[in-house]
Amino acid sequence: MKQLFTRKNLPILATAAVLVLLFGTFSALFDNFLTLRVIVNLFTNNAHVGVVAMGMTFVILSGGIDLSVGSVLGFTTIFVATLIGKYEMHPALAISLALIAGSIFGAGMGALIQVYQLPPFLVTLTGMFLARGMAFVVSAQSFEIKHGFYNTVVDAGISLTDKVTLRAPACIFAVVFVIALVLAHFSRFGRSVYAVGGNAPSALLMGLPVGRTRIWIYTLSGFCAALGGIVFTFQTQSGNATNGLGLELDAIAAVVIGGTLLSGGVGYVAGTLMGVLIYGTILTGISFYGKLDSSWQRIAIGGLLLVFIIIQRLLTRAPVRESSH
């Protein structure tokens, strides 16, 4: 227990404190804020960001960045919607194809980054343009998804009380979170991810499969982005090539607010969950208040991000030396 308050843990503890403080403030301000319904909706409404952010956590832990996730999410929604609506494919098959496509896309980017030693920023920027363009190639018009399978999934859910139900998006988010948690902290792959992010040359000298790990990380992020797209279609029951514009920044913000260092090697999956919840709480709080427009949401997220980064910087300045490239 005495290890809980180490310097390394301070960012994530700060994140937890902010989440509690933020939620507490809104609960004090608004009558119906501290209810099970609001908490469940926090998970349901932000499930797509959450799923994407889980994949992003691994990328950032490894010292990389993935700018393509928003576009991959958008591509997935229109891809699935078109396959179901235009080609009358069964949704289960369409979803599987989309997940495979997203994974292969991620793997391709990972391979380019690894084999040719290209900067992740540029490769995933390419991926971002490519996926967004391909989404418009699939269809420039938005498509509604009308299929019995979708109705079943959307109506399905675990009833917590007679008024509050845990819907499919929230369930998927929860499952992805648990898998990510196990993968990051209790698997060989997770340990390699941390090692690659901490110091890639050392990891290589220790005999860890750096190249394979890096490619898997981007594959995982691509898969999560596609899954985020699937979740998004459950939320909106439609596909649109413009979906997920700027979502990569929301995902990165959630990961960073969650206490993961962008220099790699330090962070927690649970932190990202809290980052997503903080993000969602701000959105919900602003919608509860009603008088504030969406501009305040960005100002709040930006301001919060600034405070967190400065705290992180102050905490990590002395003990953790940044690896020079």
Partner 1 sequence: MNSAPSTFVSRFLQSRIVWPLAGLALLLLFNFVFDRSFFELSTRDGNLYGPMVSVIRLSVKVMLLATGMTLVIATGGVDLSVGSVMAVVGALVAFLAEKYHVGFPGLLAVALGASLVVGVFNGALVSYVGIQPIVATLIVMVLGRGVALNITGGMPVPIEDTGVLYLGRGFIAGVPVQIPLLLTVFAIAALACRKTAIGLFVEAVGDNETASRLSGVNARGIKLLVYLFSASCAALAALVSIGDVGRVEPDRLGQMLELDAITAVVVGGTVLTGGRFTLLGSIIGALLIQTLTTTLTRQGMPSDVSPVPKALVILIVCLLQSQKLRSQLVRLFTSSKTHAS
Where does this chain touch partner 1 (CB under 8 A) — which range of 13-21, 136-144, 151-159, 225-233? 136-144
**Binder of partner 1 out of 22, 130, 164, 183 (CB under 8 A):** 130
Tokens of 291: 């008088």
Query: Exposed, middle or buried, 143 (CB in 10 Å: 0-12/13-18/19+)?
Result: buried
| Cβ neighbours around 52 below 10 Å, total | 34
To partner 1, the closest distance from the beta carbon of 297 in angstroms equals: 7
Site for partner 1 in 6-35 (CB under 8 A): none
Closest CA relative to residue 81, chosen from 219, 250, 242: 242
- Rounded to 10 degrees, what is the CA torsion of 174, 175, 180, 183? 150
Nearer to partner 1, 104 or 154 (CB): 104
Q: What Rg value do the Cα atoms of the chain yield, rounded?
A: 20
Nearer to partner 1, 181 or 309 (CB): 309
**Residue 301 interacts with partner 1 (CB under 8 A)?**
yes
**Binder of partner 1 out of 30, 136, 149, 288 (CB under 8 A):** 136
Tokens of 107: 């793997």
Nearer to partner 1, 121 or 186 (CB): 121
To partner 1, the closest distance from the beta carbon of 275 in angstroms equals: 14
Closest CA relative to residue 247, chosen from 314, 304, 301, 168: 301
Site for partner 1 in 260-299 (CB under 8 A): 262-263, 293-299
**Residue 205 interacts with partner 1 (CB under 8 A)?**
no
Any idea what the Cα angle at residue 190 is, between residues 120 and 316, rounded to 5°? 70
Site residues (CB under 8 A) for partner 1? 65, 112, 115-119, 121-123, 125-130, 132-134, 136-137, 140, 241, 249, 252-253, 256, 262-263, 293-303, 305-306, 309-310, 313, 317, 324-325
